[in-house]
C-alpha cells in the first residue's frame, strides 16, 4: 500500500469515527483555521509576493481578508445551517412531516489553482470543514512558496487523518484522481476540468468544477464612462489579469468607444502609474510559458494602451487592443492576463448574439443606467454571475453563490452555498403511527377513485 493510499484510508477511518460531524468539532476547526491564518498573515503575504509579486494590499484584500470574512460568516451561521430543515408536506401525506438533513460526503479532494493560490485553496476548505468532511488539499506546483506555506499551516493546525495538504506536480494530481474520494472540488482551466470529470466519472464521484471562460464586459452608450473605466481597469488588471472572473474582452458601443478609451487610459495611469512595468506593486505573470502565450497576442489588432513587456521579470503592461474581431486568436480562448481586446457594436442585439455563439462565460459585466437594457442582457444571456455597473466585486459577498454554467463550470460555493456543496441533503419523511390512511393500499374499496380525488 502506498503512502497516498494509506493517507486516504486513514481519512476514511477518521470520518467514520463521527468526530468531524460534531458541531463543536466543526466550529473549533474553523476557529483554529482563522487563528492560524491570522498568526501566519505576514508569511502568507510574503509567499504570495515571492510567487506572483503581489502587493501587501492586493494579497490581503483578495486572498487573506476574503477568507477570514468567509470563516467569520460561516461560524456565525453554522448552527442554523446544520439544523434539519422542515419542508412542506402535501395533503396526501396527512399526519406526516418532511425534513432535509445535511450530511457530509466524507473524504473530499480540493484541487486548487495558482492565480489566487491561498484564497482558492482555503475557501472551499471552509465549506468542507463546515459540512463535516475530511479533506485533502492539492495546491498548484506553479506557486511553490504559497504551496509550502499551506502545507506548513495546515499540518500545524490539524492531524493529517482529518485535513492535510499533498504537494507535487501534475503527476501528484493524477495519482490523487485515481484514489477513492467521496467528493472532488476543482478550480482551474476547462481542459483540466474535463480530465477531472472524466476521472470522477469512473467511480461516479460527485464533482464541483469552477472553471473559466471569456467573460464579456459591455459598456452601453448611456454608461457613466469615467466610473466604468475605473472599475473595469481595476477588475481587469487586478492580479495582472490572472483572475477567472476578470473582464476578458470589452464590447463598446460605437458612439462612446473613443471617449471611453481615453477614460480607460487615465484610469490605468491612476491605478498603476505611467510606468506600470516599474511599479513594485504590479503583479507578474506566473511563469515563462504563460508569459510567451500572452505576448503572442500583442501582434493582433492595434495597441492603443500599453503593450510593453519585460521578459526577465515576466511583466506585461496593462494593455488595450482595438480593431479586434471574433476571428482573431485572442478571441478564441480565455486570455488570463493584462491584455484587453475591444469589440464595437451598434445595437445591443449584436452583443447578445455574439456572446450566444460562443461558450457560456463565467461572468458578465454591463455598464448602463437603463433598467430595460440591464434586464434585457440579464434575461437573454447565459452566464455564471456578474455585476451591473461594476466588475468582479460580486464574488466577495458570501450571500451570493459563485459558480459557472456549461463550459464555465458546474456547481457553486461561497457562504451557505459552500456548506450545501459539501453536504448531501438527505430527505426524511416522519410518519405518524396514530392512524393509517387506507386509500394507498390495493385492497381498499374504491381506492382508485379516492386516489384520483386527492391527486386532482
The three cell numbers of residue 65 are 481578508
- Taking a C-beta distance cutoff of 8 angstroms, is the pair 170, 199 a contact? no
* Residue 81 DSSP class: H
The string of DSSP letters for 396-448 reads G-TTS-B---GGGEE--BSTHHHHHHTEEEEEEEE--SS---GGGSTTSTTHH
* Entry field: residues in the chain: 456
> Given the C-alpha cell 453554522, which residue does it identify?
78
Smallest CA-to-CA distance from 341 within 327, 325, 353, 363 is with 325
Using CA atoms, how far apart are residues 252 and 368, in angstroms rounded to an integer? 11
**Would you give the DSSP letter of residue 395?**
G
Is position 334 annotated as part of the catalytic site? Answer: no
Chain centre distance of CA 149: 22
Q: Is 357 helix (H, G, I), strand (E, B) or coil?
A: coil
Q: Which of 134, 217, 244, 387 is catalytic?
A: 244
58 is catalytic: no
How many CB atoms are located within 10 Å of the residue 440 CB? 13
CA contacts within 13 A on the Cβ side of 167: 15
Which of 63, 210, 317, 334 is an active site residue?
210
Grid coordinates standing for 42? 505576514
- φ, ψ at 166 (rounded to 5°): -110, 120
Q: Quickly list DSSP for 150-213.
A: HHHHHHHHS-TTTEEE---SHHHHHHHHTS--SEEEEES-HHHHHHHHHHHHTTT--EEEE---
Residue among 238, 237, 277, 285 nearest 58 (CA):
238
> What is the set of active-site residues?
210, 244
Amino acid at each position: 500500500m502506498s503512502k497516498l493510499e494509506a493517507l486516504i484510508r486513514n481519512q476514511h477511518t477518521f470520518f467514520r469515527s463521527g468526530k468531524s460531524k460534531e458541531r463543536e468539532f466543526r466550529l473549533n476547526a474553523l476557529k483554529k483555521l482563522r487563528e492560524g491564518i491570522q498568526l501566519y498573515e505576514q508569511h502568507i503575504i510574503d509567499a504570495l509576493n515571492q510567487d506572483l509579486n503581489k502587493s501587501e494590499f492586493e494579497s490581503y484584500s483578495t486572498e487573506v481578508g476574503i477568507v477570514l470574512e468567509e470563516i467569520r460568516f460561516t461560524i456565525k451561521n453554522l448552527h442554523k445551517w446544520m439544523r434539519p430543515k422542515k419542508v412542506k408536506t402535501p395533503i396526501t401525506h396527512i399526519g406526516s412531516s418532511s425534513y432535509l438533513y445535511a450530511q457530509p460526503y466524507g473524504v473530499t479532494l480540493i484541487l486548487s489553482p495558482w492565480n489566487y493560490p491561498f484564497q482558492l485553496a482555503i475557501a472551499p476548505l471552509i465549506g468542507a470543514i463546515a459540512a463535516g468532511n475530511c479533506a485533502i488539499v492539492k495546491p498548484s506546483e506553479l506557486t511553490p512558496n504559497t504551496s509550502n506555506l499551506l502545507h506548513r499551516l495546515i499540518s500545524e493546525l490539524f492531524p493529517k487523518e482529518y485535513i492535510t495538504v499533498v504537494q507535487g506536480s501534475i503527476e501528484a494530481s493524477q495519482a490523487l484522481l485515481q484514489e477513492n474520494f467521496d467528493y472532488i472540488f476543482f478550480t482551474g482551466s476547462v481542459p483540466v476540468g474535463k480530465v477531472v470529470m472524466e476521472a470522477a466519472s469512473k467511480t461516479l464521484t460527485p464533482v464541483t468544477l469552477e472553471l473559466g471562460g471569456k467573460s464579456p464586459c459591455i459598456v452601453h452608450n448611456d454608461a457613466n464612462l469615467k466610473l466604468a473605466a475605473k472599475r473595469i481597469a481595476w477588475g481587469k488588471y487586478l492580479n495582472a489579469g490572472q483572475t477567472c472572473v476578470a473582464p476578458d474582452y470589452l464590447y463598446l458601443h460605437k458612439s462612446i468607444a473613443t471617449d471611453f478609451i481615453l477614460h480607460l487610459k487615465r484610469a490605468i495611469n491612476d491605478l498603476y502609474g505611467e510606468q506600470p512595468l516599474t511599479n513594485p506593486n504590479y503583479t507578474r505573470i506566473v511563469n515563462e510559458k504563460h508569459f510567451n502565450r500572452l505576448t503572442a497576442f500583442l501582434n493582433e489588432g492595434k495597441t492603443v494602451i500599453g503593450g510593453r513587456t519585460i521578459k526577465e521579470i515576466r511583466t506585461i503592461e496593462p494593455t488595450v487592443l482595438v480593431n479586434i474581431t471574433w476571428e482573431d486568436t485572442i478571441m478564441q480562448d480565455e486570455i488570463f492576463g493584462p491584455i484587453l481586446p475591444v469589440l464595437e457594436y451598434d445595437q445591443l442585439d449584436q452583443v447578445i448574439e455574439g456572446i450566444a455563439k460562443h461558450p457560456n462565460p463565467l461572468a458578465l459585466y454591463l455598464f448602463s443606467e437603463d433598467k430595460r437594457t440591464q434586464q434585457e442582457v440579464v434575461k437573454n444571456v447565459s452566464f455564471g454571475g456578474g455585476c451591473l455597473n461594476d466588475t468582479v466585486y460580486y464574488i466577495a459577498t458570501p450571500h451570493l453563490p459563485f459558480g459557472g454554467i456549461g463550459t464555465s463550470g458546474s456547481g457553486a460555493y461561497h457562504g451557505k452555498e459552500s456548506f450545501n456543496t459539501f453536504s448531501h441533503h438527505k430527505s426524511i419523511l416522519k410518519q405518524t403511527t396514530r392512524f393509517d390512511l387506507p386509500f394507498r393500499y390495493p385492497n381498499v374499496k374504491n381506492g382508485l377513485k379516492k386516489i384520483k380525488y386527492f391527486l386532482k
